[in-house]
Structure formats: structure tokens, C-alpha cells
Amino acid sequence: DAKTTQPTSMDCAEGRAANLPCNHSTISGNEYVYWYRQIHSQGPQYIIHGLKNNETNEMASLIITEDRKSSTLILPHATLRDTAVYYCIVRDAFTGTASKLTFGTGTRLQVTL
Amino acid sequence: GAVVSQHPSRVICKSGTSVKIECRSLDFQATTMFWYRQFPKKSLMLMATSNEGSKATYEQGVEKDKFLINHASLTLSTLTVTSAHPEDSSFYICSAPTGLDHYGYTFGSGTRLTVV
């Protein structure tokens, strides 16, 4: 799986949009970008994933650059409960054979009042 | 959505004893389970991959005789930490592919192991 780089930490005011960047310059054509988050002392939670088009769900939006070398996770209205470590992961699409997820260091997002 | 139930959530054991951690897939069949370990303020590190009905595959540097993995059914995988030492104290997390690309992988809630 391609390697990703993310800022170590970010702060965001409650109610504002949180924009979390991720670089994945070695991503290959069949690899998706996945985002997970881990709230303190819990297991990671799936947020969103995408291949090349921008995606949106009830939790977040994912913006992928045209060359697919980077992406941004957007939490439109951050709340205190969004304080967590956010992991950007690239991996092959599920093809019936499970491939392992490799976690980088992630971005520690602190949402403040 | 797919759920993995992990137990216990916390356990304290004495050095030299063994501890078993269970992960159950509640509404789907988990033919594969991934086991991770996480030290404070660090990222998740994959320890091993278990497949139902076959031997687990361990990552480099992980002692297979110390971390026994059993995946006897399509809904249950267990990790047993044998002869535990204080340095085994960590947060252990299991994860299974849901088979649905929409969700990717689902994770257990984790087990905080403290060896005293």
C-alpha cells in the first residue's frame, strides 16, 4: 500500500470547518483513499473513502486532487466530539481477499470552544 | 452496519499469567481478522492476521508462541497473550473486513491490557 503523510496535529474552533490534508504521492491507479478516526481509547471508526471523485456522506466530505496525489478530509461543522486522531490510508479496493490496513501516524485534531 | 464485539474492554493481570481477548463478528462472517497493538500516543501496529480454519500469519518481530491466535469459526477470533509481562501492557484492537467496500473494515472497541 502507498505511504501517506499527514500533519501531526491541528486545532479547530467548534462550529468551524476542519480541513485535514493528506499526501499520498505514490498512490497507484487501483488504490482508494480511506479515512478513519480514533477517539481516545476506542477502536478506529470508518469515515469515508474515495477513488478519484469527491465524496460526501453524513460525516464528512473527501476532496481528492485531480492527480490523486493528495486529498483533504472536511468536517463541515466540527464539534468537541470530533476531537480524535484522523488516519488517511490508501489501499486496494476490496476484491474478495482482505488486505491489511497500514496505519501511519495520523493527525491529532483538537476541537476547542 | 457490520459490528465487531471485543471483550474484555479492560483487563489487569499478574506477570506470568495468560489473558484471552475475544472478537466476535455480530452480523457478518469474518473469514479474516486483523489484530493490532497500540502503545500510548502511538499508531496502530499490525501484529497478525488470522484466517478461519488456518494458521495465523504474524508480522515480523511478533512472537507467535507468545501471542496465540485462534480463528475457529467464522464469527470468533481470539488472541491469547501467554506468560504476560509488563511490557505487554498495551491497547489491543481487532478488525475485520466487512466484505462491503462501502465500509471497508470494522474495528472492535479495543482491550486495555495492564500487566502488573
Q: pLDDT tens across B72-84, in order?
A: 899 999 999 999 9
Burial of B85 (0-12, 13-18, 19+ CB in 10 A): exposed
Q: Which of B34, B91, B99 comes nearest A94 by C-beta? A: B99
For residue B18, the model assigns a pLDDT of: 97
B34/A100 Cβ within 8 A: yes
DSSP tag of A22: E
Mean pLDDT of all residues belonging to chain A: 92
Contacts of B4 in chain A (CB under 8 A): 43
Residues of B with CB under 8 A from a CB of A: 4, 6, 31-32, 34, 36, 43-46, 49, 91, 93, 95, 97, 99-101, 103-110, 112
Q: What share of chain B has pLDDT > 70, as a percent? A: 96
Residue B107: pLDDT over 70 = yes
Question: What length does chain A have?
Answer: 113
